[in-house]
Structure 1
Amino acid sequence: MAERKRMNTASCPVARALDVVGDRWSLLIVRDAFDGVSRFSDFQASLGVARNILASRLKALVEEGVLEAEPASDGTAYHQYVLTPKGQTLFPVIVGLRQWGERNLFRRGERHSRLVERATGKPVARLEVADAEGRALAFGDVVVVEK
């Protein structure tokens, strides 16, 4: 299998981000970590991913500082994987993907999981891009400029 081209020196922030979390397994691992999954066997059970792929993605996420491997809290010889502060900043990315999926990939009335606020049980508001004063922006309202 050919080695994939690294994008870690690209001038585009999207390309660099995708270099770290741009495959489905990495994002699903991050999603599961937000849901409280922390052990290898639990990630594997949740995702149904092959052990070698899971090990590779966990290693890469640790190397990139998205997850941290630490001794298991139950005192066993196992490790658990926890989100670092850098990994926690992926929360809006996961919420945005979830909301996009809810809006575009389910038929009206089709059952799916929902993201709700823990304290109230109320649905999370839709994410939106806003200007510095908080006004909503659409894709036509912005442009990428080189620094």
Structure 2
Amino acid sequence: MSRKHDHPCAIAEALNILGDRWTLLIIREAFYGATRFGEFLTNTGISRNLLTERLSQLVEADILERTPFADRGTSHAYALTVKGRALDTVVMALTEWGNSYLYGDGKEPVLARDKASGEIIRRIEPVTSDGQIIARQNIVIEAGPGGDGRTLSRISKAKSYPFAE
């Protein structure tokens, strides 16, 4: 991958791991049930050498776990770790954004549906720790304990970030 972001920002740091054109597609396929190298290769269209590199990076980042496959000594299976499964909202949000703004109603290639009600999930909403939906205009962004002076300055000057409508 290209050069890394080097300032304290959760988005920049996440992009250091997830920010190339193939990584989220590999993660998407893992959510869809792919576990083998060939499945990732076929389902994403990535080249063999790039797939090998990206799988290694995802294992190193503890997003995927690599285990020997039972039937062969040289073959491996990949599975999402706890850290990898926590990307479910990222994958769902990107799917919904793509459906809404790139495809439109009736043209969505993939839909997320609530198992219990059968309703199509149209938007991922921010919630409090007890599950209450928070209106976006009520979200305030502030510098956290890991932020530096540059972060504090940037956040304090922000007129709206990014949730105010």
Q: Same fold (TM over 0.5)?
A: yes
Match of 1:76 among 72, 78, 82: 72
Are 1:72 and 1:79, in contact at CA under 8 Å, matched by a contact in 2? yes
Residues 30-41 of structure 1: pairs in structure 2 closer than 5 A: 30-41=27-38
State the 1:130 CA deviation.
Answer: 3.1
Structure with higher Rg: it is 2
Q: Does 1:4 align with 2:2?
A: yes
Residues 82-97 of structure 1: pairs in structure 2 closer than 5 A: 82-97=79-94
Instruction: Call closer, same or farther: CA 1:20–1:139 in 2, change over 3 Å.
Output: farther
TM-score, length-scaled by structure 2: 0.76
TM-score, length-scaled by structure 1: 0.84
Match of 1:105 among 93, 102, 107: 102
Query: Which residue of the partner structure matches residue 145 of structure 1?
Result: 143
Query: Identity across aligned pairs (percent)?
Result: 34
Deviations 1:7-48 (A, max 9, x none): 3x5310111111111112110100100110011111000011
Q: Does 1:136 align with 2:125?
A: no
State the 1:143 CA deviation.
Answer: 2.2
Are 2:125 and 2:133, in contact at CA under 8 Å, matched by a contact in 1? no
Give unmatched runs, 5+ long, in structure 1: none
State the 1:138 CA deviation.
Answer: 1.7
Deviations 1:32-84 (A, max 9, x none): 001100111110000111111111100100011100110114x2231011111
State the 1:92 CA deviation.
Answer: 0.7
Instruction: Call closer, same or farther: CA 1:125–1:81 in 2, change over 3 Å.
Output: same
Aligned length: 143
Are 1:38 and 1:81, in contact at CA under 8 Å, matched by a contact in 2? yes
CA distance, structure 1, for counterparts of residue 68 and residue 101 of structure 2: 40
State the 1:117 CA deviation.
Answer: 4.0
State the 1:114 CA deviation.
Answer: 1.3
State the 1:116 CA deviation.
Answer: 2.4
Instruction: Call closer, same or farther: CA 1:12–1:55 in 2, change over 3 Å.
Output: same
Are 2:25 and 2:44, in contact at CA under 8 Å, matched by a contact in 1? yes
Q: Over the residues paired in the alignment, what is the CA RMSD in angstroms?
A: 2.2
2:72 partner amino acid: T
2:135 partner amino acid: L
